[in-house]
Amino acid sequence: MCDLAQPCDALTGEASASVETDRRIRMRAMGDRRLVRGVLATLAGGSFWGLSGTSASFLFAFYKVDTAWLTCVRQVLAGLLFLVVILVRDRRRLIELWTTKRDRRVLYAFTLCGLLLNQFFYLWTVRITNPGTATVLQCLSLVFIMAFACVAAHRRPKRREIAGLALAFGGTFLIATGGSLDSMSIPPEGLVLGLVTALSAASMAIIPVRILPKYGSSIVTGSGMLCSGVVTSAFVQPWRDPPVLDPLGWQALAVLVVVGSFLAYFLYMQGVTDLGSVRASLLGTVEPVSATVTSAIVLGTVFAPTDIAGFVLIIAMVFLTV
């Protein structure tokens, strides 16, 4: 009996090892697919965000669109697009989110401190400066994300993180002053608004991390977007005194809503879900490249050498600190 059992035990052990190996291979393949999906989604989302800045700047320059009006309309229309997708695909989890008190509180914080502030102050910074400058200043959000990670992990910043901070502040100095303290290349309020935009962008990446895997990017982002739009509408009342837009103006608004808001936020938050807030913020730095290129093509924006140097330093900071 023992002689017969021993081969059986060996075969059982080999089978178990084979099953475990297969499971690890499947898990690794799933992880690889998730990584690829996250990278592609974040790169696309960042690029689309760059287009939103150019579209907004075009509307500001040629149609005198009010910042609060544009923020409100952008949120409401993009939120409705999200709602259509959610009702068709996953209304059960939408109901679960709004009926779970703890998760609903996270959504409110994400809406107020992330989406609402980020969109309003980003567009305000675009109005005062230009799309490329506003977008690069927003990339300083990684500094806040890094600081949060250090505090949460109870550790000191690493050497490369300190070097990254130096690059970030150096880049901001070049963009804000043109390399000289005697004159500001952008208004001081533009720099302040850009930093507030960066802080809200960091909040947008950090706050919903716990609920994103549970409900998905479309439900979390869409709920926050529509909620923010409804609240803003109560104060802005966008139906009163709307701007006069011709077909080209409506096209710019459509690009801002569909591409620069709905697709951009959906894809970026999918990247946060798959990759985490830090890595997603890293890949999101394709945004200033997109904003700079489209701004130069569409609006004829000219950037000084110090601006380009500042952009390079901040982008280098992002790659260094992650």
> In tens digits, what is the pLDDT along the chain, a chain of 322 residues?
455 555 555 555 555 555 556 556 555 655 668 888 888 888 888 888 778 878 888 898 889 899 889 989 999 999 999 999 898 888 899 999 999 999 999 999 999 998 889 888 988 888 888 766 777 788 788 788 888 888 888 888 878 778 877 887 787 777 766 777 665 567 888 888 889 999 998 998 899 988 988 998 889 989 999 999 998 999 889 998 889 999 999 999 999 999 988 998 888 888 888 887 777 776 776 666 676 677 677 767 677 788 788 778 877 876 765 5
Please list, in sequence order, all residues whose beta carbon lies within 8 angstroms of the beta carbon of residue 215, skipping any fewer than 6 positions away.
Answer: 93, 94, 96, 97, 103
pTM here is 0.74
Could you identify the residue written with the tokens 């798959």?
A: 274
Label residue 105 exposed, middle or buried (CB < 10 Å: 0-12, 13-18, 19+): exposed
Q: Taking a C-beta distance cutoff of 8 angstroms, is the pair 50, 131 a contact?
A: yes
Is residue 90 within 8 A of residue 200, CB to CB? The reply is no
Q: Are 142 and 315 in contact (CB under 8 A)?
A: no
